[in-house]
Amino acid sequence: MALTLYEIGNELEAVLARADDNGGELSTEDKAILDALEMEEGEKLERCGHAYLNLVAEAKSFKEEVARLAARKATLEKKAEGLRQYVSDYLNRNEMDGMEHGTIRLKVCKTPPSVAVLDDKLIPKEYFEPQPDKLMKSLIQQDIKAGKEVPGAVMQQGTYLKIS
């Protein structure tokens, strides 16, 4: 008799309802049904309990694995960035624009021009956004490109390493 927990609950209610109709007395047949249902119910509840514990343990292991993988990802990204910086420094130190060898191509590329703020206290208020004061680097860059001198700021252009 493989019943679901829902069916077991309905069957128990039916047995108890019949007992109410008989003045609280259980028939021999209902006692046998009740014993079988309670045993089956206990087994099913125990199995559900074990399944729940397994799911919780699996979820915990996934959570731990996600944390382990996130730490590994951060380590790999840091190592990759360190290696990229090492190659970039080497190429810059040896005044090389890049190189090709085998299947790899290294090229030192210029970054887009950006504004380097040397002292924001010297920059006129027109380059700050009101409430609260916020430096508008795009406006400074636009004015510097147009030939206007902006006290406290200069245009700068760095490099980055492109690996393809």
Cα distances from 134 to residues 41, 69, 81, 116, in angstroms, run: 68, 39, 31, 15
Q: Does 112 share its domain with 57?
A: no
Question: pLDDT tens-digit profile of 92-143?
Answer: 999 999 999 999 999 999 999 999 999 999 999 899 888 778 899 999 999 9
* Neighbour tally for 88: CB within 10 Å: 17
pLDDT band at 7 (very low <50, low <70, confident <90, very high): confident
Question: What's the full length of the chain, in residues?
Answer: 164
Pick the last residue of a domain from 91, 116, 133: 91
Per the confidence metrics, is the pTM higher than 0.85?
no
The DSSP symbol for 125 reads G
Q: Does 80 share its domain with 150?
A: no
What is residue 23's predicted lDDT score, i.e. its pLDDT? Answer: 80
Question: Does residue 61 carry a pLDDT above 70?
Answer: yes
Q: Does 62 share its domain with 81?
A: yes
Answer yes or no: is 76 within a domain.
yes
Q: Does 105 share its domain with 158?
A: yes
Domain span at 33: 5-17+27-91
The number of distinct structural domains making up the chain is 2
What is residue 104's predicted lDDT score, i.e. its pLDDT? Answer: 94
Question: Does residue 54 carry a pLDDT above 90?
Answer: no
Q: Does 32 share its domain with 68?
A: yes
Answer yes or no: is 103 within a domain.
yes
Q: Does 43 share its domain with 70?
A: yes
Q: Does 81 share its domain with 10?
A: yes
Beta bridge partners of 155: 115
**What's the token pair of residue 36?**
């079988």
Pick the last residue of a domain from 74, 91, 108: 91
pLDDT band at 164 (very low <50, low <70, confident <90, very high): low
